[in-house]
Structure 1
Amino acid sequence: MENYILQTKNLCKIFKKQRAVNNISISIQQNSVYGLLGPNGAGKSTTLKMITGMFHKTSGEILFEGNQWSRSDLSDIGALIEAPPLYENLTARENLKVRTLLLGLPDSRIDEVLMMVDLTDTGKKRAGHFSMGMKQRLGIAIALLNHPKLLILDEPTNGLDPIGIQDLRKLIRSFPEQGITVILSSHILSEVELIADHIGIISNGILGYEAKINPEENLESLFMETVAKSKRVGV
């Protein structure tokens, strides 16, 4: 029997008269990296925002560790959606200190997450002077503070240079070994192919494909076929 940390069943989100997410059912295996693929505007971010409680679902179910999702589950979920939530006039350590005070966590956790994301040597440098890759890693460090079982990253490689992408890829691949499941959304097929264990393809608010990564399958062809099919089906 598969061990799923998160499942959605017929999940829907309607904004006024627009159905942004249409009966999406995904299954995320524990201690894996799940790549949520789709073109811009496909419904990826809306789906992730419902899982993190930023949006209320219109209908359907969200199950966390086999039980109906509730806001208390957010203590086990870390997320980096859109821009990292940084105080640019503060150092990496000071940014994390603000959050540990809010969460009631010991200062030792700051050193732990800084080491996890390789930001231990930033000293007094303010976050506003960080590179894009460093900002992303600090955003992930903030999301890791509460020892999450599930980490949600929305388009984390956007704006990064090749070295930043490579560093982030290595970091994300390390999480399942530490007992952290990752959901990663992206429209960059090549990156997801290198990082993910399983993929789901969303287009036009519809989940058209979900399976384990198959190295012998042409992901670009699969993606284009799935997107074309969703356009024919419509919402």
Structure 2
Amino acid sequence: MKDMILKTESLTKTLKGQKIVDQLALEIQRNTVYGLLGPNGAGKSTTLKMITGMLRPNTGSIIFNGHTWTRNDLQDIGVLIETPPLYENLTAKENLQVRTIALGLPKSRIEEVLKVVDLTNTGKKRAGQFSLGMKQRLGIAIALLNKPKLLILDEPTNGLDPIGIQELRKLIRSFPEQGISVILSSHILSEVEQVVDDIGIIAGGRLGYQGPAPQGQELESLFMQVVSANRKVGH
């Protein structure tokens, strides 16, 4: 029996009369990195927004950590969707301090998460002066403050240079050992195949494949197969 941190059952979201997510049944195993793949507009971000309570599903359910998801579960979920929510005029430490006060978390978490994302030596440098990679890592540090069981990262390497991508990859790979399961959403296959254990491929709001991640050419042809099959269904 697989140990699931998160499952969705028949998850469906309709916006303006159009099905954006259609009967989605995801299965994310505990302490793994799960790649949620699909072209732009496939329904990935909408799915993540439902898992994080930003959007309500029309039908279907979300099972988190063995029970039906409630808003209380957000204290066990860390999220970085789109750009990191940073105060550009504050330092890394100050950005985290604002969050620990707001969330009622111990101050000791600040140094702990800065160490995890390798930003302990940024001193008085303001977040607005950070490179894109450093901003992303600070965004992840914010998402880690509440010691989440599940970390959700939506297109985290967007716009990063090769060194930034490599650093982030290494960081993401380290999380399962720390008891953190990760959902990583992306449309860039080469970036995902090096960090994930399992994948789900979405196209046209439908899940076309779920299981172990094949490598290289195999992943690419599987991806194209799913996308073209679901395009036919959608038109």
Normalised-by-shorter TM-score class: over 0.9
**Distance apart, 1:18 and its partner CA:** 1.1
Partner of 2:76: 76
Deviations 1:57-91 (A, max 9, x none): 11101000121100000000000001100000000
Whether 1:106 and 2:90 are equivalent positions in the alignment is no
CA distance in structure 2 between the aligned counterparts of 1:217 and 1:155, rounded to whole angstroms: 21
Partner of 2:90: 90
Partner of 1:54: 54
Partner of 2:159: 159
Q: Write out aligned runs for 1:109-128 (5 A).
A: 109-128=109-128
Q: Which amino acid aligns with 1:128?
A: G
Q: Which amino acid aligns with 2:221?
A: S
Q: Which amino acid aligns with 1:203?
A: A
TM-score normalised by structure 2 residue count: 0.98
Counterpart contact for 2:36–2:44, Cα < 8 Å: yes
The list of structure 1 runs, each at least 4 consecutive aligned residues, that deviate by more than 6 angstroms after superposition, is: none
SS in 2 for 1:195: coil
**Distance apart, 1:215 and its partner CA:** 3.7
Q: Which amino acid aligns with 1:105?
A: L
**Structure 1, unaligned runs of 5 or more:** none
Counterpart contact for 2:23–2:60, Cα < 8 Å: yes
CA distance in structure 2 between the aligned counterparts of 1:225 and 1:214, rounded to whole angstroms: 14
Q: Which amino acid aligns with 2:103?
A: L
SS in 2 for 1:55: coil
Deviations 1:108-139 (A, max 9, x none): 10000000000000000000000000000000
Counterpart contact for 2:36–2:200, Cα < 8 Å: yes
TM-score normalised by structure 1 residue count: 0.98
Whether 1:134 and 2:134 are equivalent positions in the alignment is yes
**Distance apart, 1:233 and its partner CA:** 1.6
**Distance apart, 1:216 and its partner CA:** 7.6
Partner of 2:212: 212
Counterpart contact for 2:152–2:184, Cα < 8 Å: yes
Partner of 2:21: 21
Q: Which amino acid aligns with 2:232?
A: R
Q: Which amino acid aligns with 1:30?
A: R
SS in 1 for 2:57: coil
Counterpart contact for 2:9–2:60, Cα < 8 Å: yes
CA distance in structure 2 between the aligned counterparts of 1:123 and 1:216, rounded to whole angstroms: 41
CA distance in structure 1 between the aligned counterparts of 2:187 and 2:145, rounded to whole angstroms: 27
Deviations 1:11-64 (A, max 9, x none): 001112111101110000000000000000000000000000011111101000
**Distance apart, 1:106 and its partner CA:** 1.4
**Structure 2, unaligned runs of 5 or more:** none
Counterpart contact for 2:190–2:216, Cα < 8 Å: no
